[in-house]
């Protein structure tokens, strides 16, 4: 749901009826995770569909469920499984989905507040009753609020789970007694992509990074090159000595640092500083010869072998990239592989499910 936050709020502000269908549980293998949603908007000129729940497999079923919700107004829980009925909906990937359809209305203040936080790029989290008594279906709990209709003992358990999921960024499912189930949906604040070096690849990388959900900063000590006009997709363009800027800005385990300058006077102090921090990915551009010379300089600067093992250099996966955008794709592909622990080999060379197998919570 949170991936549609901006569009959903726009429709809500326009007083257009909106029904949302959200994946509340995944059993087995499926292309989309818990929390992803499709919305159907009733506009003056007809229907508009936003988002998807299955990458194509079950969109017709989601659309039909959303239309049902628009007509009835009440929430509806459905199960999409791999059986005879599933074949008619096109869900042939082998997994099973539970989905919840519900109206998005202005009086759902707790839900709307979390949508607004997500739309602004801030942390957002809520739990929604996805299975249980009809009178509780679709009720929402947040870190600071909770539907009065829910049992008092539920709120503490759910809020503890919400706080934990905001740390690791994972959606989850809570099963409680009485056949009560809540889907925990989270959206972390945008992670940072720090690009050092106002070069041509930086422009492509900032564009791709923004599309992938990063808050992008381009930093270079040369004011002539580090301008907002040259990097319109960056959230900020900073003129500063790279190592000095890095020392004074916020970095966490989700931060990506891309060093594109391949000038030793910038690179070495910057990489030394980066390797002492918690950034999840640190990559540096340069040829293999440049990389070997840079390693010698970093060792001379006192960087340990353990720290050097965190450095991705030469930066990116070997995709045969030639253009700036192709190079940006190779860099972000390596970032994704590093984050997920993937071997980054062609899917055709692997075996087993293409999508992650999600065990029941």
Task: Report yes or no: 345 and 225 within 8 Å, Cβ to Cβ.
Answer: no
Model pTM?
A: 0.78
Do both 147 and 8 map to the same domain? yes
Do both 142 and 285 map to the same domain? no
Give domain status of residue 217, yes or no: yes
Q: What integer pLDDT is reported at residue 154 of this predicted model?
A: 82
Do both 31 and 163 map to the same domain? yes
Determine the structural domain holding residue 80 and report its residue range.
2-187
CA-wise closest residue to 173 among 123, 111, 130, 114: 130
The dihedral formed by the CA atoms of 162, 168, 170 and 171, expressed in degrees to the nearest 10: 0
**Residue at which a domain ends, from 133, 164, 187:** 187
**Residue at which a domain ends, from 187, 209, 227:** 187
Do both 25 and 170 map to the same domain? yes
Give domain status of residue 226, yes or no: yes
| 185/174 Cα distance (integer angstroms) | 11
Do both 42 and 114 map to the same domain? yes
Q: What integer pLDDT is reported at residue 18 of this predicted model?
A: 93
Do both 95 and 54 map to the same domain? yes
Do both 178 and 278 map to the same domain? no
Do both 256 and 136 map to the same domain? no
Do both 135 and 200 map to the same domain? no
| 153, 197, 322 from 314: Cα distances, Å | 54, 15, 14
Task: Report yes or no: 136 and 120 within 8 Å, Cβ to Cβ.
Answer: no
Q: How many domains does the chain have?
A: 2
Do both 180 and 70 map to the same domain? yes
Q: Give per-residue pLDDT as tens, 180-199.
A: 899 999 999 999 999 999 99
Give domain status of residue 345, yes or no: no
Give domain status of residue 347, yes or no: no
Do both 55 and 133 map to the same domain? yes
Q: What integer pLDDT is reported at residue 81 of this predicted model?
A: 65
Give domain status of residue 230, yes or no: yes
Give domain status of residue 361, yes or no: no
**Residue at which a domain ends, from 187, 210, 232:** 187
Give domain status of residue 348, yes or no: no
Q: What are phi and psi of 295, to 5 degrees?
A: -60, -40
Do both 30 and 175 map to the same domain? yes
How many other CB atoms are found less than 10 A from the CB of residue 329?
A: 18
Q: Give per-residue pLDDT as tens, 296-349.
A: 999 999 999 999 999 999 999 999 999 999 999 999 999 999 998 888 888 788
Give domain status of residue 277, yes or no: yes
Q: What integer pLDDT is reported at residue 80 of this predicted model?
A: 78
| CATH number, domain with residue 203 | 3.40.50.720
Residues of the chain with pLDDT under 50: 82-91, 357-361
| 311/301 Cα distance (integer angstroms) | 15
């Amino acid at each position: 749901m949170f991936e549609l936050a901006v569009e959903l709020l726009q429709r809500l502000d326009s007083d257009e009826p909106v029904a949302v269908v959200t994946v509340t549980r995944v059993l087995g293998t499926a292309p989309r995770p818990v929390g992803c949603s499709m919305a159907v908007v009733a506009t003056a000129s007809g229907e508009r569909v936003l988002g998807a729940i299955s990458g194509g497999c079950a969109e017709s079923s989601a659309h039909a469920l959303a239309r049902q919700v628009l007509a009835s107004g009440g929430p509806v829980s459905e199960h999409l499984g791999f059986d005879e009925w599933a074949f008619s909906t096109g869900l042939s990937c082998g997994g099973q989905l539970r989905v919840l359809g519900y109206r998005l209305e202005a009086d759902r203040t707790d839900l709307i507040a979390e949508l607004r936080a997500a739309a602004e790029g801030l942390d957002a989290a809520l739990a929604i009753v996805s299975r249980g008594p009809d009178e509780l279906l679709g009720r929402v709990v947040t870190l600071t609020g909770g539907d009065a209709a829910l049992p008092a003992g539920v709120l503490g358990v759910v809020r503890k789970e919400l706080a934990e999921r905001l740390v690791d960024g994972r959606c989850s499912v809570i099963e409680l007694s009485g056949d009560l189930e809540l889907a925990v949906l989270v959206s972390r604040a945008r992670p940072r992509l720090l690009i050092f070096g106002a070069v041509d690849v930086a422009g492509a990388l900032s564009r791709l990074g923004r599309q992938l959900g990063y808050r992008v900063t381009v930093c270079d000590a040369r004011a002539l090159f580090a301008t907002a006009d040259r990097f319109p997709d960056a959230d900020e363009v900073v003129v500063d000595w790279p190592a000095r800027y890095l020392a004074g800005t916020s970095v966490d385990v989700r931060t990506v640092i891309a060093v594109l300058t391949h000038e030793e006077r910038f690179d070495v102090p910057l990489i030394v500083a980066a390797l002492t921090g918690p950034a999840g990915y640190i990559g540096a551009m340069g040829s293999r010869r440049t990389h070997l010379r840079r390693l010698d300089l970093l060792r001379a600067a006192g960087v340990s072998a353990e720290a050097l093992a965190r450095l991705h250099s030469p930066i990116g996966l070997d995709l045969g990239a030639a253009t700036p955008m192709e190079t940006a794709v190779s860099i972000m592909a390596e970032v994704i592989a590093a984050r997920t622990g993937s071997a980054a080999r062609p899917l055709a060379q692997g075996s087993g499910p293409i999508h992650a197998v999600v065990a029941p919570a």
